[in-house]
């Protein structure tokens, strides 16, 4: 890879890292700001968090269609500037006691919209900066930094609010996005963007093109089915899991948080392994085995009893293994998706898969609540955990399982390849 590409990738990595750190920090800082400064209740806090996350479901397909027509560097830079301004306004208004709850709803929604733009754009940008044989390693580096941000961001946000003040903590989050802007704008490589005709296709048509491509490509179609099955049962499992730990195992809030936190270090290890294992054993084998290990690990949790040291050790191990396996699957699947997708469809393909996968999460949460209420926590957890295994079964029975170590063939065979 030319030295210019190396430099551009480093700037992308740095920008994405501090952007993710700012995003993860703000997910804690803004709700704490509302609780400490506006004294909102639990119901209002739930609405605030829903407003933060709503853009993912509402706008992913639209953003994917829009991003493919622009240079990803431009989209990321504009998104960073926008989030810096939004959080800067929130910090100033909060320090002057001018920020009400309804205004905060608007600000967090706008920040969420801009985050969707940034996240879709950065996923589409890597394929324009590195060669196909470097996609797995590149995704491993980016996903590793994202995992680190998921671990450190919430802790940093809580510390900032505790040690400083809520408005200053919000301003600190804005600083991360400003640093991301300064990094991403240093990318110098000129991107090849599909030429637009005088009459550009309507957004609906562009979304349809993305959907048609994903449905028509067997590998991506498999990813969608597997992701939908996983997200549905994972949402159900987590709904029961968060009730099972304190009520059945009688774990304290600190112990519950510690068990869940084990996923983060596991994800870091998974990101490191993802840079090597697919090249040694083949992408398909890694995806299937990792999915089976990670999703199947939770099946042993319903057998646990009491808040003993052994119970805690098993929970830590289960979440750690889940973090490793989940990251292996995420990194390798993302590399496959990038390799098989033409440049002009990268954003729409990423957005379509995200939309299909995340779209079933609310239904899965409702299903988990039903299981817990009607069948009990232990049975509900077992049913939802076993249901998660449907995802690796789908993967194992698909052409994705037969993928080898070399992704260059996928690049050569994709539509429009020379």
Task: Tell me, rounded to whole angstroms, the distance of Cα 196 from its chain centroid.
Answer: 30
**Residue 271: both structure tokens together:** 């990101």
Number of H helices, E strands in the chain: 18, 0
What's the N-to-C CA distance of the chain in angstroms? 20
CA–CA separation, 391 vs 233, rounded Å?
9
Other CB atoms within a 10 A radius of the CB of residue 169 amount to 28
CA–CA separation, 299 vs 10, rounded Å?
40
Which of 16, 91, 105, 90 has the alpha carbon at shortest distance from 53? 105
CA 214-218-224 angle, 5° bins? 55
CA–CA separation, 238 vs 245, rounded Å?
10
Q: DSSP characters for 32-79?
A: HHHHHHS---HHHHHHHHHHHHHHHHHHHHHHHHHHTTS-HHHHHHHH
CA–CA separation, 118 vs 198, rounded Å?
27
Intervals of the chain under pLDDT 50: 1-4, 42, 198-199, 417-418
Which of 138, 188, 45, 82 has the alpha carbon at shortest distance from 339? 138
**Residue 91: both structure tokens together:** 């910090």
Identify the residue whose tokens are 């112990």: 255
What b/e sequence results for 31-47 when a residue is b if at least 16 CB atoms lie within 10 Å of its CB, and e otherwise? Answer: bbbbbebbebeeebeee
CA 126-128-129 angle, 5° bins? 65
Query: Do residues 332 and 223 touch, judged by C-beta distance below 8 A?
Result: no
CA–CA separation, 111 vs 79, rounded Å?
9
CA–CA separation, 261 vs 317, rounded Å?
11
Q: To 10 degrees, the CA torsion angle through 76, 82, 87, 89?
A: 170
CA–CA separation, 113 vs 58, rounded Å?
9
Rounded (10°) angle between helices 361-375 and 377-388: 140
Identify the residue whose tokens are 């989050």: 173
**Is residue 164 classed as helix, strand or coil in its secondary structure?**
coil
Which of 91, 99, 108, 100 has the alpha carbon at shortest distance from 167? 91
Which of 298, 299, 315, 296 has the alpha carbon at shortest distance from 307? 315
Which phi and psi angles does 238 have, rounded to 5°? -65, -35
Within a 13 Å sphere around the CA of 106, how many CA atoms are in the beta-carbon half? 6
**Residue 51: both structure tokens together:** 């407003």
Query: Do residues 353 and 341 touch, judged by C-beta distance below 8 A?
Result: no
Q: To 10 degrees, the CA torsion angle through 194, 197, 198, 200?
A: -80
**Residue 418: both structure tokens together:** 């020379």
CA–CA separation, 137 vs 150, rounded Å?
20
**Is residue 228 classed as helix, strand or coil in its secondary structure?**
helix
**Residue 383: both structure tokens together:** 């049913």
């Amino acid at each position: 890879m030319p030295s210019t590409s190396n430099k551009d990738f480093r700037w992308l990595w740095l920008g994405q890292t501090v952007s993710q750190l700012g995003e993860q920090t703000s997910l804690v800082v803004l709700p704490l700001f509302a609780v400490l400064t506006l004294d909102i209740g639990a119901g209002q806090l739930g609405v605030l968090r829903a407003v933060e996350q709503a853009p993912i479901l509402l706008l992913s397909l639209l953003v994917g269609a829009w991003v493919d027509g622009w240079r990803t560097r431009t989209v990321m830079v504009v998104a960073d500037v926008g989030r810096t301004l939004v959080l800067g306004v929130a910090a100033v208004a909060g320090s002057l006691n001018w920020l009400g709850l309804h205004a905060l709803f608007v600000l967090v929604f706008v920040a969420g919209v801009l985050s969707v733009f940034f996240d879709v754009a950065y996923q589409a940008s890597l394929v324009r900066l590195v060669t196909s044989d470097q996609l797995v390693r590149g995704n491993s580096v980016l996903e590793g930094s994202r995992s680190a941000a998921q671990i450190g961001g919430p802790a940093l946000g809580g510390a900032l609010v505790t040690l400083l003040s809520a408005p200053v903590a919000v301003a600190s989050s804005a600083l991360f996005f400003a640093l991301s802007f300064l990094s991403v704008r240093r990318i110098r490589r000129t991107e090849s963007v599909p030429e637009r005709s005088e009459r550009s296709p309507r957004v609906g048509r562009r979304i349809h093109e993305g959907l048609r491509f994903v449905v028509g490509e067997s590998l991506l179609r498999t990813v969608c089915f597997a992701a939908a099955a996983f997200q549905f049962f994972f949402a159900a499992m987590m709904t029961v899991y968060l009730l099972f730990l304190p009520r059945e195992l009688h774990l304290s809030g600190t112990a519950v948080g510690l068990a869940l936190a084990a996923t983060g270090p596991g994800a870091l290890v998974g990101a490191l392994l993802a840079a090597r294992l697919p090249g040694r054993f083949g992408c398909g084998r890694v995806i299937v085995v990792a999915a089976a290990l990670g999703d199947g690990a939770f099946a042993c949790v319903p057998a646990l009893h009491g808040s003993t040291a052994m119970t805690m050790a098993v929970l830590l191990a289960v979440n750690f293994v889940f973090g490793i396996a989940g990251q292996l699957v995420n990194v390798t699947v993302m590399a496959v998706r990038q390799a098989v997708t033409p440049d002009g469809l990268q954003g729409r393909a990423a957005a379509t898969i995200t939309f299909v996968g995340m779209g079933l999460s609310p239904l899965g949460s409702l299903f988990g609540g039903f299981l817990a209420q009607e069948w009990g926590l232990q049975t509900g957890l077992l049913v939802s955990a076993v249901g998660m295994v449907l995802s690796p079964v789908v993967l194992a029975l698909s052409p994705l399982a037969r993928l080898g170590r070399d992704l260059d063939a996928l690049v050569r065979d994709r539509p429009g390849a020379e």
